[in-house]
Amino acid sequence: MTPGTDRLAAALADRYTIERELGQGGMATVYLAQDLKHDRKVALKVLRPELAAVLGADRFVVEIKTTAGLQHPHILPLFDSGTADGFLYYVMPYIEGETLRAKLDRERQLGIEEAVKLACAVADALDYAHRHGVIHRDIKPENILLHDGRPMVADFGIALAVSAAAGGRMTETGLSLGTPHYMSPEQATAEKDLTARSDVYSLASVLYEMLAGNPPHTGASAQQIIMKIVTEEAAPVTTVRKSVPPQVAAAVAKALEKLPADRFGTAREFALALEGRGEVPLPLARVTSRPARGAAAGTRAWQMATAGLLVVAIVAVGFALRERASARSAAEAVPVIRAHFDLPPGARVADALVGSTLAVSPAGDVIAFTSITVNGLRMYLRRVHELEAREIADGNLAGRNLTFSPDGKWLAFSEGNVLRKVAVDGGAAVTLGSTGGAVPYGLSWSATDTIYIGSFSGLHAVPASGGTPLPLSAPDSLSVRAGQRWPLLLPGRGAILYARGSSSSAPGELSVVELGTGRITDYSLQVSMPLGILDDQLVYVAASGELMTVRIDVGSGRPLTDPVVLEEGVLFDPTAGAKAAISRSGTLVLMRGRAQLQPVLVSRVGVAAPLLDEPRTYATPRYSPDGRRVALTVISAASTDVWIYDVGRNTFSRLTTKGSNVRPEWTPDGMHVVFVSDRGDRPAVWIESADGSDTARLLYQPAQEPFEAVVSPDGRTLVFRTAPGFEYSRDILAVPYLGVDTGPSGVTPLVTSPNSETMPRFSPDGKWLAYQSNESGRFEIYVRPFPAAGGRVQVSPNGGSEPIWGRDGRSLYFRGPLGEVVHVAVSTGDTFTIGARTTVLTGEYLQDSSHPNWDIAPDGRFLMLKRAGEEAQVVVVHGWGRELRAQVGRRR
């Protein structure tokens, strides 16, 4: 449970035992609970905190009691209500079955006889309540429960009780009573004294949807729907479904009249008309399309609309339009300014880490990014009014999947399978918990202070205050197996939009999951990575690197138009995602292009010759034991794979073909390549024949994500380094390795501490293990005996990284603090000693903070990566939301 749920459970412990959350609605969160006194299951509904904060608790309890006396076969009774530790709650029976909404989502349209029967039963319940002075005010499919096919109307009078208890302060809550699609015109214009005719209109809207598949009025926003309800006639239901009987169509049309006086006086009259037993004016029964209404009625409708404009704005606040309108006003006040984003000296935005390494605060005034520097991965914050970026927290954060809190005061991020946050104003990073056991693909921070985590193992939720990750879908569901990445919260609705796809190599498609019900709706629109929603425009990145927009129904996430290209050249790859972000206020930041590199062989006097002519994004080159081949990681927009370059034949061929495959290392016999891949359900160590004669096989999948792995020279041990985690965070571990036909088992910790120990490298005789650690506050190179325990020896004096042993066993090389290559004379055997240190190569060659990004050729030259061809650019566009609206407006 969440901390809030724990507090609620404690407050009600003497009366109810809370078992689990069932869902969330506009006003309340619903829990399944056990009534201890009566030994029965109940639905415990707790009003949302922002609503409870403005209600008079005593008044609410008094008002809700007026509904407790309703006893009807089609009304869900009220068992209990009250306050506990600040919570306002009410209790109803727990009904096993489904809501009418769930049935409509599954079937869309119901049989005419079934739909009319359900509507008449609900009308009977309404008529009973109306005669007892209770107006429901929120009739909708979600509030009609189906128990063995029999409808039960829930939440009777709750809306009235809330409204009365609020005493006119509902606008402070940001919520609205009623649901736009089913509101009567008088409810939409906030008339206080609603009559039974308002419920009749709402029920007719529900019946219309049961028959036609959609409510009578739809739109892209709550405002649009409300304006249509007030000003536009509903199309006759027979225009959508010709088989609807005339008396049913006529009854629905009369019940949907704009003026309450033109509708049925009671719900019973409506039910009789549906059954053909009432009187409906003949012209309504004969029409196939509705004629224009008289001038007086039209004038009245527009008068209602005009008088209600301010009220409509208040109602729309409940659906997050206030927030979006405020953001829009702020965006339109800012001129469109495009600028290159200056980075700290020696830094570049990390472009190959999984998840976004760029984020913009909701107000657009702070930009966060993860950078690769000569000192490793670092996280920075840059305020737009400041000239320089500042490093975050302790300087040892390698965050990815960056996302700001809704108020812009916190930045959440993942490190390995750990979820953390750090205050924008400074301070140490705070660990929130696990990300759910899988590699996180995107984070989204909700207004209810919940952080949602995307992955190939489904969506998980973690309280922003910390806690256990809870899956939003069953682990074996099709939706989870299809992948749920890059979550984005729909504004003003308990739903998440995300990209689905079973592999990182295939383009994603749009899906939406409702948080309360878990209901998932899939769409065919290809969306590789959603970025944000401005007004009713979903902004996303396509697999080709194009920044796209499509108009959506912000209530459901359903695409309404064809997508439009806005920008081109956004850096995107299937594994790492897009390097772009957009703020709620309309500030855009993005990377264009990826730095192109070239592998070169450099002599000690600095003469360089290309190993490969074509510039690409290469990483972690590694010579085979015989020096005849080189394994490299090649990163592109389509894939991240291991390639093999045959030196003698001058051929370059792709080895891996599935998933993302990185950091290749050779087995001692040179026959196989070991690498880390995400092709399974989570990252693991895989092995494949270097000549491609067999398919890749899973070699070892530890409980915690492996980041890099090497095989000992005698072929008996696999040493791997973990990603950030809880038990072993950036630590070096070992397992037995008995050859490619026998998997390892039994983990032995080698170098573990609260610090980062990375890049394990075996000496040629296998007796010594070099690695880098930041235990001193900066990365240094250390050597320790293997496999026996023993003290470690520090090799680098003033900072060092990326250790590589010389082939003769008498040399150890590392990269110095400025990227230079330093040679250290060493002796190995029963003891380890170091001699003189000499800088043997300088120059601007690429470094890496996670795995050695260079190697030594058999002839003693250095295989380095240098920049060649394109360079990546980081661009910031202030006021981009204004530009988006202008482009969309022209197309409309």
pLDDT band of residue 164 (cuts 50, 70, 90) is low
Query: Domain spanning 3-319 has what CATH number?
Result: 1.10.510.10
pLDDT band of residue 745 (cuts 50, 70, 90) is low
pLDDT band of residue 311 (cuts 50, 70, 90) is very low
Task: Please state the rounded mean pLDDT for residues 394-404.
Answer: 80
Q: What are phi and psi of 6, to 5 degrees?
A: -60, -40
For the chain, percent of residues with pLDDT exceeding 70: 83
Tokens for 727? Answer: 């038990």
The pLDDT value recorded for residue 512 is 92
The pLDDT value recorded for residue 328 is 46
The pLDDT value recorded for residue 194 is 87
**Between residues 105 and 97, which one has the greater pLDDT?**
105
pLDDT band of residue 313 (cuts 50, 70, 90) is very low
What are 543-574's pLDDT values in tens digits? 888 899 999 988 888 999 989 998 888 888 76
Tell me if 329-334+341-594+873-891 shares its fold with 597-867. Answer: yes
The pLDDT value recorded for residue 665 is 97
**Between residues 99 and 725, which one has the greater pLDDT?**
99
Residue 488 has pLDDT above 80, yes or no: yes
Tokens for 852? Answer: 């050695």
Rounded-to-integer distance, Cα 668 and Cα 206, Å? 71
DSSP secondary-structure letter at 78? P
Tokens for 686? Answer: 């895989």
What are 6-57's pLDDT values in tens digits? 888 888 998 999 988 887 766 778 899 999 988 889 989 888 776 666 565 6
The pLDDT value recorded for residue 887 is 80
Smallest CA-to-CA distance from 260 within 215, 194, 306, 162 is with 194
Q: Are strands 640-646 and 547-551 parallel, antiparallel or unpaired?
A: unpaired
Cβ within 8 Å of residue 133, ≥6 positions away: 66
Domain extents for the chain? 3-319, 329-334+341-594+873-891, 597-867
Task: Please state the rounded mean pLDDT for residues 852-881.
Answer: 88
Residue 306 has pLDDT above 70, yes or no: no
Specify whether the CB–CB gap between 529 and 548 falls below 8 A.
no
Residue 799 has pLDDT above 70, yes or no: yes
Highest mean pLDDT among 150-159, 454-463, 684-693, 732-741: 684-693
- DSSP tally for the chain: helices H, then strands E: 17, 59
What are 509-532's pLDDT values in tens digits? 899 998 877 888 999 899 989 999
Q: Which helix (H) or strand (E) holds 802?
A: strand 801-805
Task: Please state the rounded mean pLDDT for residues 740-768.
Answer: 84
Average confidence score pLDDT of the chain: 83
Superfamily of domain 597-867 in the CATH hierarchy? TolB, C-terminal domain (2.120.10.30)
Highest mean pLDDT among 203-217, 681-695, 863-877: 203-217
The pLDDT value recorded for residue 168 is 44
pLDDT band of residue 231 (cuts 50, 70, 90) is confident
The residues with which 428 forms a beta bridge, in sequence order, are: none
pTM of the model: 0.53
pLDDT band of residue 237 (cuts 50, 70, 90) is very high
- Architecture of the domain delimited by 329-334+341-594+873-891: 6 Propeller (2.120)
